[in-house]
Amino acid sequence: MAAEQGKVDPMHQFTIEPVVPFQFAGYDLSFTNSAAWMLVTAVVLTIFVAGGLRRELVPGRWQMAVETFTGFIDNMLEANIGKEGRKYVPYVFSLFMFILLANLLGLLPLGVVGIHPFTFTSHFTVTGVLAAISFGIVLVVGFWKHGFHFFSLFVPHGTPAVMVPLIFLIELFSFMIRPFSLALRLFVAMMAGHVLLKVLSGFVINGANAGLGIGALVGLPSFALMIAISALEILVAGIQAYVFALLTSLYINDAEHLH
């Protein structure tokens, strides 16, 4: 939290700062707080999955949790793609869990012990790369399986011949905008929630500094609202991870079946 004389800058939390500065050939290749929390998220995900790989006769809670998430993703892919969707389970599961853990880790109140979580999914560059990877898979699958017939995806069945050029351009534009909208949705949702929490924290701090009366009138309601919004943000963290994975599966379905 960037606080100076009772003021809170809600945008400071999104500042990318070097953890291990490194310059090479005039380029800044520093290991940043964003990269650090990506690494933390990847490590947590690896530990989570590794702990569930033990095939015990009577599954423990950890194994049950991993199997629940993998089963959830498997069912989602089968519902949206069919039997062909099973081969995409490792990728979509990793994508879903990576985004979910990133969102949840960014909500941890570790600031009380001097550690400030960085929600890297609140940066469009990160969500854009994740969306680009999914979009790249769609393109590779589409052209690998259908060749140039993949372009028929942009001409719905029954389109009058005279309307084909216009419909093709509209559908192509709609298709090309998918990675942008996919990345923007996650970025905006995570950024907006964190900004709101910082604004409310400013009300709490300023109310406490203003005295008992103002603190009770402004600070306490703001603090109660922070708790409620934090609970809502946990729900949003899960929903956004699910929506990202769901749309990815729907886009892959288009590449598989040209619907």
DSSP character string of 58-89: S--HHHHHHHHHHHHHHHHHHHHT-GGGGGGH
The pLDDT assigned to 259 comes to: 66
CA 8 vs. chain centroid, Å, equals 26
pLDDT single digits (tens) 212-224: 777 677 778 888 9
What is the average per-residue pLDDT within 229-250? 95
Percent of the chain past pLDDT 70, that is, above it, reads 95
The pLDDT assigned to 127 comes to: 97
The pLDDT assigned to 158 comes to: 80
pLDDT single digits (tens) 183-192: 999 999 999 9
Percent of the chain past pLDDT 90, that is, above it, reads 58
Low-confidence winner among 5-14, 34-43, 94-103, 172-181 (lowest mean pLDDT): 5-14
Tokens (6 digits) for 241: 């991870």
- pLDDT range class, residue 57, cuts 50, 70, 90: low
Rounded distance, CA 137 to CA 54, Å?
30
What is the average per-residue pLDDT within 99-125? 90
Is pLDDT of 176 > 60? yes
CB atoms within 10 A of CB 192: 13
